[in-house]
Amino acid sequence: MVLTMKIGLVIYPGCVVSGLFAFSELLEAANRRSGKRYFETMWVGIDHKDVSVTTGSKRMEVSISPTTTISDRSIDAILLPGFWTNGIRQVSPILSEYKAISRALKQLPSQTRVWAYCTSVCFLAESGRLNQQSATSTWWLADHMQEKYPKVTWSFTKNYVFQGQNATASGVNGYLPIAQQLIAQNCGQDILRDIIDLMVVPKPNNNNQPFEFISLMQLDDKLMQQIYVWTEATPTKELAIKSLAKDLNLTERTVSRKVKTQTNLSCAYFMRLIKLYQATEYLIYGTDTVNSIAIRLGFSDDAAFRRTFKKVLSYTPNEYRQAFKR
């Protein structure tokens, strides 16, 4: 006899609902392919009130009625989708507005599985359920998450992390590795392989290439190109927004706003990432020692380079070289 797993799909105003539909459909495909009822999904809310969700346009608004709430202890697992945001500054206000989600997560029985992806990992971290555990999230949250939740072992170079009853994944498609792991564990690898082939689902890849965003960002903006080139050519210890703005004959405010608009990052952090990206290139394709690379890139000292590298990438330089060496 198959025990059906009851899975709550959490909905709240401002959530990115598309992943929940896709997640549910993958599990339904597994049920049908296996001929057994392994999974049952249901809408779960903060309370029993209807939730209006949107794909980003008010003209595409949909109202969903929750079957139950996050606090329902009869549910075996819950999936948290990310929320719409224009940047780091909006994260804390959103967490404050929906603090009932974090409170409910904290009060759930320890055996309840909780899966979160993209920005929703913030709710899970806020609840304390990730303390002393490994986790990941979307790369642009790295600085914020490491500073606000130091008790969590962050691994932002991984696409997904499963530990204990918790699972975290990066990006708006983070539901995919969670669904695939779930299907493999409950239905078997053969069923998962059939679903991947028939539904043309991307195969899970947990080796997230660090600094992939560098190539994804469309740096076709002339000013952004100038900022990038200037940063590459400037020793790390001499990086300063004031110097950058002066060399570009612009105000610091103009430069900072431009970088923020284009990358959703502060100018200082963006410049730091560029220097670390340079370092990864030397580590992957070259044979120079870590100390030589630190000197070449103009870090104040070898220890400062290693410390910054480890904080941002969750790898030491030597670990990175071993993992990604070409």
For residue 292, the model assigns a pLDDT of 93
pLDDT confidence tier of residue 215, bands split at 50, 70 and 90: very low
d(CA 60, CA 315): 42
Identify the CA nearest to 39 among candidates 205, 200, 178.
Answer: 178
pLDDT mean over 89-104 = 94
For the ranges 36-50, 154-168, 260-274, the maximum mean pLDDT occurs at: 36-50
Burial classification of residue 123, based on how many CB atoms lie within 10 Å of its CB (0-12 exposed, 13-18 middle, 19 or more buried): buried
| Same domain for 249 and 130 | no
Question: Would the pTM count as exceeding 0.75?
Answer: no
3-class SS shares of the chain: helix, strand, coil, % to 5: 50, 15, 35
The rounded percent of the chain whose pLDDT value lies above 90 is: 60
**pLDDT, tens digit, for every residue of 271-314?**
998 999 889 888 887 888 999 999 999 998 899 999 999 888 87
pLDDT at 108 over 70: yes
- Residue 20 maps to a domain: yes
d(CA 322, CA 326): 9
**pLDDT, tens digit, for every residue of 22-42?**
999 999 999 999 999 999 999
How many C-beta neighbours within 10 Å does residue 3 have?
9
pLDDT mean over 34-55 = 93
How many C-beta neighbours within 10 Å does residue 105 have?
24
| Same domain for 229 and 184 | no
pLDDT at 269 over 60: yes
- Residue 206 maps to a domain: no
On the CB side of 248, how many CA atoms lie within 13 Å of its CA? Answer: 24
Show which of 165, 198, 231 is a domain's final residue: 198
pLDDT confidence tier of residue 217, bands split at 50, 70 and 90: very low
pLDDT confidence tier of residue 193, bands split at 50, 70 and 90: confident
pLDDT confidence tier of residue 205, bands split at 50, 70 and 90: low
For residue 214, the model assigns a pLDDT of 54
| Same domain for 83 and 154 | yes
Q: Where are the alpha helices (DSSP H) in 121-266?
A: 121-127, 142-148, 175-187, 189-198, 212-216, 222-233, 241-247, 252-263
- Residue 204 maps to a domain: no
- Residue 192 maps to a domain: yes
Contact status, residue 73 vs residue 112, Cβ threshold 8 Å: yes
- Residue 182 maps to a domain: yes
For residue 218, the model assigns a pLDDT of 46
| Same domain for 131 and 186 | yes
pLDDT at 71 over 50: yes
- The count of structural domains within the chain is 2
| Same domain for 184 and 73 | yes
| Same domain for 239 and 109 | no
- Residue 203 maps to a domain: no
| Same domain for 171 and 261 | no
d(CA 266, CA 144): 12
| Same domain for 36 and 160 | yes
Residue 161's H or E segment, with its range, is strand 160-163
| Same domain for 172 and 80 | yes
Show which of 143, 163, 198 is a domain's final residue: 198
Identify the residue whose tokens are 């003209």: 59
Boundaries of domain holding 186: 5-198
- Residue 207 maps to a domain: no
Show which of 142, 164, 198 is a domain's final residue: 198
For residue 86, the model assigns a pLDDT of 75
pLDDT, the chain, mean: 88
| Same domain for 284 and 194 | no
pLDDT confidence tier of residue 317, bands split at 50, 70 and 90: very high
d(CA 95, CA 97): 6
| Same domain for 249 and 171 | no
Q: CATH number of the domain at 27, please.
A: 3.40.50.880
DSSP letter assigned to residue 139: G
